Amino acid sequence: MKIEHTNIVYISTGSNMGDKLENCRQAIAALNKTDTVQIESISRFYLTEPMEYSDQPWFVNAAAKIRTSLDPVNLLAVLKSFEVEYGRVDSGVRFGPRPLDFDIIFYNDMIIETPQLIVPHPRMHNREFVLRPISDLAPELIHPVFNKSIHWLLDELSSQNQQCIPMEEMAN
């Protein structure tokens, strides 16, 4: 039986190793089976161009709106444990290939800055692969630092031409 989940959190997920889409789908489903997390909604899945370190396969990315009873640090620990379970190891390459990545993008409307966690995610406003899936779920959600909507942030970013292709378009 699940306990009451009072915190609303937006997380992103991504993978560029193995069956990328299935890694993301399975990890979200497994997260929903825990007693501490309930998935409210999931964005579309996107095929996205790597950033920062381009010599690697493209990613599959998505976002989920969740409810949780966990505080931010414990939620981060759970997400990181799923990454390890799916085979993530520290390759020494920042932003390098990985079978699974989870990030906390928003935790309620909190602003958190600790050595282990910064929320809202500090680079989200520069990443279409984060903004577009979050926009699928909550385009009018207000970024608590910038005081701008996700839709506005995405519009501002659109001139950078980051490749973020909805996967259902690729099936056609």
For residue 30, pLDDT over 80 is answered with yes
- Two structure tokens written together for 17: 């190793």
Query: What's the per-residue H, E or C state across 48-100?
Result: ECCCCCCCCCCEEEEEEEEEECCCHHHHHHHHHHHHHHCCCCCCCCCCCCCCC
Summarised one tens digit per residue, pLDDT across range 61-94 is 999 999 999 999 999 999 999 988 877 556 555 5
Closest CA to 41 of 141, 154, 157: 141
CA 115 → CA 119, 123, 160, distances in Å?
11, 16, 30
* 2 assigned to some structural domain: no
* 53 assigned to some structural domain: yes
Q: Measured between alpha carbons, how far is 23 from 28 in angstroms, rounded to an integer? A: 9
Residues known to be catalytic = 88, 98, 101, 103
**Mean pLDDT across 97-116:** 93
Q: Measured between alpha carbons, how far is 172 from 34 in angstroms, rounded to an integer? A: 35
Q: In this structure, what CATH number is given to the domain that contains residue 158?
A: 3.30.70.560
* 73 assigned to some structural domain: yes
* 48 assigned to some structural domain: yes
Structural domains in the chain (count): 1
HSE, CB side, 13 Å, CA atoms: give it for residue 144: 13
Residue 125 contacts residue 12 (beta carbons within 8 Å): no
Length in residues, the chain: 172
For residue 1, pLDDT over 60 is answered with no
* 145 assigned to some structural domain: yes
HSE, CB side, 13 Å, CA atoms: give it for residue 63: 23
Q: pLDDT confidence of 19, banded at 50, 70, 90?
A: very high
More confident: 162 or 156: 156
Least confident segment among 53-62, 76-85, 146-155:
53-62
Provide the domain limits for residue 85: 7-170
Closest CA to 104 of 132, 152, 68: 68
> What is the structure's pLDDT at 169?
63
- Two structure tokens written together for 54: 């381009």
* 1 assigned to some structural domain: no
> What is the structure's pLDDT at 159?
61
* 122 assigned to some structural domain: yes
